[in-house]
Amino acid sequence: MACGVAAAMVAAAFLTMAVVLVAKAWSAADLGFLFDPSSRVADRAGIGPALAGTLWLAALTVAFAFPVGVGTAVYLEEYLPPGGVAVVVSGAVANLAGVPSVVYGVAGLALFVRGMGMGPTLLAGGCTLAALALPTVIVTSRAAIRAVPRGLREAAYSLGATRWQVVRGQVLPAAAPGIVTGSCAAFIRTVGEAAPLLVLGAVSVMTFAPRSPADPLTSLPTQVFAWSTRSQQDFAAVAAGAGVALLLVLLVMNLVARVVRRRLQGVSA
């Protein structure tokens, strides 16, 4: 009963948010909105560069954080002997998962933008967001790997498989649905972040869609923020429109993860 009420409240909250956003965004909706750059006139403002920036950031974040995160999880679970080092690393990862995203922005500014001389580019943004997603990817991947039955590994070892063969042939396929689910949740949260990108130096106006990771940093969340600080009322609708677009991007990411998971479950079953 209580669970039913809780579920109904969550559903109601999501629907309310979607309805409010769509209702506000309605006046801004047309095809040009998806491709045009921002403008000083709300009617002409579009999310072209911001949308492209967010797609770049999503691709970069997944490309950096997924292999590194899953690799780290495999190493921690399957290779590193329990005790000393493992405890320290696990503690560090767990603590990193709790660090606020703005702090990652400050660290990214010092490390990627200034230290490595990337400047306020999409590449620096992708690296920072990847660092932000990494602890969650590691923690959820470790949980998924740990849930693989011991017997599966031992059966493979008894047939003479090497450790890598066990990991690759048995553990990873069995853990993959869990890894994908957990990682995807981390990526979706991360790609919706504005705070770290604002610290890195996201641009206010960009007249073109970014074509490479070396282009200036822009994204849907920072564009929503920029528009919502403007005084003209019309920009509230434009900001809501960008919010809807952001929701759609995240929804698509979720669907992709779902399809991948289905496939993987089919394989491992």
Partner 1 sequence: MIAIGPRSGSREGPARQTPGGGLLLRTARAVTLLSALLTGCSTDGGDGGSILIVGGSSSLYPLSEAVAEDFAREHPGSRVVVRVSGTSGGLRRLCEGEIHIAGASRPMTSAEAARCRSNGIGYLALPVARDGVAVVVNADNVAVDCLTLAELRRLWEPGSAVSTWRDLRPVLAAERIRLFGPGTVSGTYHFFTAVVMGRAGASRSDHYQTENDHLIARGVAGNRWSLGYLGSASYAANEDRVRALEVDTGFGCVPPTPATIADGSYGSLARDLYIYVSDVYNKMYNSLYNFAIHYVSVTQALAGEMGYAPLPAGEYERSLARLATASEGPS
Nearer to partner 1, 11 or 211 (CB): 211
Nearer to partner 1, 193 or 215 (CB): 215
Nearer to partner 1, 18 or 32 (CB): 32
CB 156 within 8 A of CB 140: no
- Closest separation between CB of residue 140 and partner 1, Å? 18
Task: Please name the residues in contact with 215: beta carbons below 8 A apart, sequence gap of 6 or more.
Answer: 121, 122
CA geometry: angle 254, 204, 62, nearest 5 deg: 25
Rounded to an integer, what distance in angstroms lies between the CA atom of residue 187 and that of residue 185?
Answer: 6
CB 191 within 8 A of CB 54: yes
Nearer to partner 1, 38 or 54 (CB): 38
Nearer to partner 1, 98 or 117 (CB): 117
Residues making contact with partner 1 (CB under 8 A):
37-40, 56, 59-60, 63-64, 67-68, 71, 74-75, 79, 119, 157, 162-164, 167-168, 201, 203-208, 211-216, 229-232
Cα separation values, 116 from 58, 96, 164, Å: 21, 22, 34
- Closest separation between CB of residue 217 and partner 1, Å? 10
Burial class (CB in 10 A: 0-12, 13-18, 19+), 262: exposed
Strand partners, 216: 121
Nearer to partner 1, 22 or 157 (CB): 157
Measured from the Cβ of residue 76, the count of other Cβ atoms closer than 10 Å reads 20
Nearer to partner 1, 40 or 251 (CB): 40
Rounded to an integer, what distance in angstroms lies between the CA atom of residue 234 and that of residue 43?
Answer: 8
Q: Report the interhelical angle of 122-146 vs 84-96 (nearest 10°).
A: 130
- Closest separation between CB of residue 206 and partner 1, Å? 5
Using DSSP's 3-state secondary structure scheme, residue 212 falls into: coil
- Closest separation between CB of residue 9 and partner 1, Å? 31
- Closest separation between CB of residue 197 and partner 1, Å? 13
Measured from the Cβ of residue 254, the count of other Cβ atoms closer than 10 Å reads 14
Q: Which residue type, as a one-letter code, is found at position 201?
A: G
- Closest separation between CB of residue 244 and partner 1, Å? 23
- Closest separation between CB of residue 203 and partner 1, Å? 5
